[in-house]
Chains A and B, each alone.
Chain A
Amino acid sequence: MFFQVLFQGLTSSNTWQVTLEFAALLLLPALGGVISERSGVVNIAMEGMMLTGAFASVMVTLAANNFGLSSAICVLFGLLAAIVAGGLMALLHAYFSIQFKTDQIVSGVAINIIALGLTSYLLFEIVPVGVPSLPDRLRLPVPPLGPLANIPFLGTVLFQQNVIFYITLLLLFGVQFLLFRTNIGLRIRAVGEHPQAADTAGVNVRLLRYLCVVSSGLLSGLGGAYLALGVAGLFNPNMTNGRGFIALAAVIFGKYTPLGAAGACLIFGLGIALSYALQGLGSTANVINLLNTLPYIFTLVALVGLVGRTTPPAADGIPYDPASD
């Protein structure tokens, strides 16, 4: 029974479509995490940044719609608002952890809590009744890819994804290139490994760290827009449901590289997609609660087996103080 359901799940195009969608949703904050951690700032606040982005995307889109702007413009405003909102939350994290040298974990936790409280509060102030949901015309579209989308199996899996999915793919290779093939990437990594040495060599450590942390917010905010404005079409309090934390796990399992994180996101995505398929196993029992945790257990085992020990950048989490040694 179990293997039959598993086989059905693995051969269904829906499973793979969901896998890629879920992976891309995780990958955006994960890419942000990679950039931030590589520059030496621990970022556990992707969850909050993503949630803020999701909130801003839906609220701004609805507000623009109320002004009578055309649908495409509304969605574009929503998308930009999400990115900016994520960036602002990240700026807060950067300000605390770089300027005030606050413990980066504490600052991250604070951002997550502020994001949850603030979005829930504002939601009720702005929309006193009902879940703010969007009609199809006010969502990020699935681009029509013509004949490609009609290919059996692969068409569904690869070519019927939301427009942000394809942007995420571009960003993945862009960030990988930026970090490992460019001058600025070398500087970012140097700042994360040995900021004193980088400083001596003339790199502006603070500025670079600021830029990296804010980029992580921009990417997480974009992830929030993908979630709320693309996939779900609505905003709910706490709708990110821990994705930012799973993304953080993907960063670590991916050995702090974009491609590695993408691999980890894919495995998480497959786990989630399979948990949908496994729903058929225990129809009424409480067992389903356990089945729903199966992807996480399976993922941890798979990743620990595949990846083994990962080493963070040497100066990760340590505030830079030019005066010390």
Chain B
Amino acid sequence: MRRTSGYIRLAGLLTLFAMLLAACGGTTTGSSTPTPGATTAPKAKYTVALVTDVGGLNDGGFNQLAHTGYEKARAQYGFPDVVIQTQTPTASEYVKNLTSAANQADVVIAVGFLMQTPLDQVAKHFTSKMFAIVDGCAVPDANTGACENLSNVAPLFFKEQEAGCLVGAIAGQMEKDGKSVVPGLLGKNTIGAVGGLPIPPVNRYIAGYKFCATKVDPTVKVVVGYSSNFTDPTICKGIANKQITDNMADIIFQVAGGCGIGVLDAAAAKGVYSIGVDADQSKDSTGAVRKGVITSALKRVDSAVFTIIDDAEKTTYAAFVAAPTKFDLAHDGVGYGTTSSNVPADAVTTANNYAGMIKSGSLVPPEAIP
């Protein structure tokens, strides 16, 4: 130690510090200046920043969809690219990322339920900025979880239970049709769901799924597991394998983001069926069709993010906050994705009938798991 010269140690420490800052603060991508002389895009009235949750921009689901909506709005309004990616799901990092976003832009979109309490704190500090949060609202006290109505926070809620209901109806109909129509079934009339954390948006999906599957086929049994995790695919794969081998579940709904890709994988390996979540997960990143994925429950995070940016640019943001729309089936905020060739025609018919009933209000899937 004694022989190490002081400035080398200092340099090392500074480098480390810089790296810590860079890594903890999330990674900011993109240039901070708009292309000069871009004539096609009109001048944006407000600049917009996106703060993503853990999982990354290419999680094939939630964050990626938010980014798609952000990019669509950016193409239309031409504001500079400010995307901050959260690396670790801690309150302090959320606060730091949201603060950094609010310092750089007029409108800040927080992606994810876990940012509710940090957002409340940051929004109260930056009262002149406009905030929006996907899957949540401003929550001053995490223990109660109650929403606080702030004039500068737009809550973007979805009716996931409606999307869950439609894929549940497909699964229920397939179980009802049985092995003679759907050869991959195991014959125990059991379907499964693997959630990440038992948080409201996840549970709303599962609630609708279970409610409508049992409505189509009252004899169907639904097993539910949670991975406590949204990033490690092996955990979700393990839970799905358990549901397949021990409970004989043959259609499994993944509600666990990147972790849940392990569910799709487990079902494919065992020759049974799975259902994707948030985005259309019928194909993988190479464009190849994923074996066994019968459909996906869609949550149009992209359209919600675009809508709120659009509102902000058109100065109708205040009107949205005064009476927030819930993104539901009727507003094309949720739905179901591509159905595979394994899905019989009557299952699609059932799902479409249920969609009609939900839109007309004669069927209301519950928010809590029945």
- Residues of A in contact with B (beta carbons under 8 Å apart): 8, 12, 14, 18, 22, 25, 62, 96, 100-102, 106, 110, 113-114, 116-117, 120-121, 123-124, 127-133, 135, 227, 231-234, 236-241, 272-273, 276-277, 279-280, 283-286, 288-289, 292-293, 319, 321, 323-324
Contact = CB atoms under 8 A, between A and B. Distances in A.
Contacts of B288: 135
A154 to B, nearest CB: 16
B58 A127 contact: yes
Contacts of B64: 129-130
Given A127-B285, A131-B258, 18 more contacts: A12-B245, A113-B20, A120-B27, A124-B58, A129-B58, A130-B64, A131-B261, A133-B284, A135-B284, A232-B262, A238-B232, A239-B232, A241-B231, A280-B246, A283-B223, A289-B198, A293-B228, A324-B2
A280 B223 contact: yes
B58 A233 contact: no
Contacts of B58: 123-124, 127-131
Interface string B62-84: 00100000000000000000000
Contact of A276 (B4, B229, B238): B238
Interface stretch (B8-16, B36-44, B105-113, B310-318): B8-16
Contacts of B9: 100, 102
Contact of B24 (A113, A233, A238): A113
A286 B198 contact: yes
B102 interface: no
B54 A238 contact: yes
A130 B246 CA distance: 31
Nearest to B236: A232
B246 A12 contact: yes
11 contacts: A14-B246, A25-B234, A62-B286, A100-B4, A124-B58, A133-B261, A234-B265, A237-B55, A276-B242, A288-B198, A323-B3
A254 to B, nearest CB: 22
A309 to B, nearest CB: 29
Contacts of B87: 116-117, 120, 237-238
Contacts of B246: 8, 12, 14, 277, 280
B85 interface: yes
Contact of B285 (A106, A129, A323): A129
Interface string B204-247: 00000000000000000001111111011111011101100111
B3 A321 contact: yes
A121 B27 contact: yes
Contacts of B1: 101, 319, 321, 324
Given A128-B58, A130-B60, A101 B20 contact: no
A269 B261 CA distance: 22
Nearest to A118: B23
B57 interface: yes
Nearest to A121: B27
Contacts of B228: 288-289, 292-293
A129 B234 contact: no
Contacts of A128: 57-58
B59 interface: yes
Contacts of B12: 96, 100, 102
A279 B23 contact: no
Contacts of A285: 198
B69 to A, nearest CB: 14
A279 B286 contact: no
A283 B245 contact: no
A100 B8 contact: yes
Contact of A279 (B8, B20, B234, B239): B239
B146 interface: no
Given A131-B60, A236-B258, A321-B2, A231 B231 contact: no
A46 B312 CA distance: 46
Given A233-B265, A323-B3, A239 B231 contact: yes
Contacts of B59: 131, 236
Given A116-B87, A130-B284, A284 B238 contact: no
Contacts of A236: 55-56, 59, 231-233, 258-259, 261
Contacts of B198: 284-286, 288-289
B32 to A, nearest CB: 17
A240 B241 CA distance: 20
A273 B238 CA distance: 8
B197 interface: yes
A128 B27 CA distance: 15
B19 A113 contact: yes
A114 B18 CA distance: 11
Contacts of A25: 234
A285 B203 CA distance: 10
B20 A232 contact: no
Nearest to B285: A130
A124 B285 CA distance: 12
Interface in B175-215: 197-198, 203
Nearest to B265: A233
Interface string B243-265: 00111000000000011011001
A232 B224 contact: no
B322 interface: no
Given A101-B4, A238-B231, A292 B238 contact: no
B369 interface: yes
A232 B226 contact: no
B33 interface: no
Contacts of B232: 236, 238-241
Contacts of B56: 120, 123-124, 236-237
A232 B235 CA distance: 10
A239 B233 contact: yes
A222 to B, nearest CB: 16
B285 A133 contact: yes
A7 B235 CA distance: 21
A122 to B, nearest CB: 10
Of B8, B9, B238, most A-chain CB atoms within 10 Å? B238
